Amino acid sequence: MNTLIVSQENEIGYIYFNRPEQANTINEEMIEELEITIEQFSQNDKLKALIFRGYREIFVSGGDLNQHQQMSGNQVYPLLYRVGKLLDQIAKLNVITIAAVEGKAIGGGCEIVSSCDFCVASSSATFQFIQARLGITTAWGGGSRLMKKIGTKKGLQLLLTGEQISSHQGHHIGLVDWVYEDEHFTHSLKKLLKKLTRPSKPAIYTFKKMAQLVESGVSPSQIYPLEAQGCAECWDLEKHQKSVNYILSPLLKQKSNE
């Protein structure tokens, strides 16, 4: 891979955007490498979470304007559609997806953020849906996903003004889920990941499926069979058996009676 650094630590996959000389812009090579990597991770049965990261100053600064600049609207459309499809694939993954943002997320960088389940940001990170200032709209599905995340009114405000917001402002409006101090960012991220990936793989899969169905407007009355099925799948797992045995253990009962 030339544009990404991909790694896996136990049940957690990492994709680092790695074009620092071009401020982590997304060019065709990176799109291709992302497509391959996402496909590989989507078939990885061990995986519980997938983390997207940039480097300290920049998460992703959007589409590669040098490449796009040469193209007409008709020529650029297939490329924009292709990245939209890729981000849709990320949004539909059955593992927890997290944009871990340090530094700047600009344009398409913010579209990646809104395609993930969660955003963890360092306190100095910033977010800018800059597209309107460039005379265009979002192109990769990130505008509508933003609206779904933070509501149409707030989403429209950010998209129309193209203004930059801090991670704390992002947290206030629901774009950012956790903000950590710059110096402790990686350590805090790892602690958070430990918590989020504690459930078993089938439990994570079921919770994610439920969230996706709820998001697409399916009612709980239609989802409960899936919920029952998911719970039944987890039932015989060692994790469940052990936890129940612990709760039912005489020692614990005796303690709670005291």
Ligand X SMILES: CC[C@@H](C(=O)O)C(=O)SCCNC(=O)CCNC(=O)[C@H](O)C(C)(C)COP(=O)(O)OP(=O)(O)OC[C@H]1O[C@@H](n2cnc3c(N)ncnc32)[C@H](O)[C@@H]1OP(=O)(O)O
Q: Which is nearer to ligand X, 15 or 113 (CB)?
A: 113
Q: Which is nearer to ligand X, 139 or 204 (CB)?
A: 139
Member of 2, 44, 46, 65 binding ligand X (CB under 6 A): 65
User: What's the min distance (Å) between Cβ of 63 and ligand X?
Assistant: 3
Is 63 a binding residue for ligand X by CB under 6 A? The answer is: yes
Query: Residue 79: how many CB atoms within 10 A of its CB?
Result: 17
Member of 22, 157, 166, 212 binding ligand X (CB under 6 A): 22
d(CA 112, CA 98): 10
Is 62 a binding residue for ligand X by CB under 6 A? The answer is: yes
Residue ranges in 68-97 that form contacts with ligand X under rule CB under 6 A: 68
Contact between residue 26 and residue 63 where contact means Cβ atoms under 8 Å apart: yes
Number of chain residues interacting with ligand X (CB under 6 A): 22
Q: Report, in angstroms and rounded to the nearest whole number, the Rg of the chain calculated over CA atoms.
A: 20
Is 106 a binding residue for ligand X by CB under 6 A? The answer is: yes
d(CA 172, CA 160): 19
Is 61 a binding residue for ligand X by CB under 6 A? The answer is: yes
Q: What does the chain come to in residues?
A: 258
d(CA 5, CA 53): 10
Member of 140, 141, 206, 230 binding ligand X (CB under 6 A): 140
Among the residue ranges 100-108, 114-122, 162-170, 196-204, the one whose residues contact ligand X (CB under 6 A): 100-108
Contact between residue 48 and residue 12 where contact means Cβ atoms under 8 Å apart: yes
DSSP 149: H
Query: Is the alpha carbon torsion for 79, 83, 86, 92 positive or negative?
Result: negative
**CB nearest ligand X: which residue?**
62
Q: Which is nearer to ligand X, 13 or 63 (CB)?
A: 63
Is 139 a binding residue for ligand X by CB under 6 A? The answer is: yes
Q: Which is nearer to ligand X, 60 or 193 (CB)?
A: 60
Short-list 86, 18, 14, 4, CA closest to 49: 14
Residue ranges in 181-240 that form contacts with ligand X under rule CB under 6 A: none
Q: Which is nearer to ligand X, 99 or 139 (CB)?
A: 139
Is 64 a binding residue for ligand X by CB under 6 A? The answer is: yes
Residue ranges in 109-138 that form contacts with ligand X under rule CB under 6 A: 111, 130-131, 134, 138
Is 145 a binding residue for ligand X by CB under 6 A? The answer is: no
The DSSP string of 191-252 is: HHHHHHT-S-HHHHHHHHHHHHHHHTT--HHHHHHHHHHHHHHHHTSHHHHHHHHHHH-HHH
CA angle 43, 85, 97 (to 5 degrees): 50
Member of 104, 145, 149, 201 binding ligand X (CB under 6 A): 104
Contact between residue 81 and residue 139 where contact means Cβ atoms under 8 Å apart: no
Q: Which residues bind ligand X (CB under 6 A)?
A: 22-23, 25, 58, 61-66, 68, 104, 106-108, 111, 130-131, 134, 138-140
